[in-house]
Amino acid sequence: IDRQEIEPPGEVWDTDGTFVAVSSADDLDEIEGVTTVGANWRSVAGASGYDYRLLTDDGVVITDWATVWDGEFVRDDLSLQIGRRYVVAVRAFGTVGGEPATSAEVLSDGFVVVDRTPPTLTVSAAPSPFWPDGSGPHVQTTVSVLMADRVGLVRYSARAFASSGAPVRAFGATAVGGLSHAGSFVWDGRDDGGDVLSPGGYRIAVTAVDLSGWEAVADATVQVCNAAGDDTGLCQAVEHDGGDGS
Tens-digit pLDDT profile for residues 9-34: 999 999 999 999 999 999 999 999 99
The whole-number pLDDT of residue 139 equals 96
Neighbours of 154 (CB within 10 A): 17
The whole-number pLDDT of residue 212 equals 94
The whole-number pLDDT of residue 1 equals 34
Q: pLDDT under 50 in the chain at which residues?
A: 1-3, 240-246
Cα(184)–Cα(186) distance, rounded to whole angstroms?
7
The whole-number pLDDT of residue 100 equals 92
The whole-number pLDDT of residue 243 equals 44
The whole-number pLDDT of residue 244 equals 46
Beta bridge partners of 162: 202
Q: 227: phi > 0 → left, psi -120 to 50 → alpha, else beta; which?
A: alpha
The whole-number pLDDT of residue 97 equals 84
The whole-number pLDDT of residue 220 equals 98
The whole-number pLDDT of residue 226 equals 87
- Put simply, whether the predicted model's pTM sits higher than 0.85 gets the answer no
The rounded Cα 201 to chain-centroid distance in angstroms is 31
The whole-number pLDDT of residue 238 equals 56
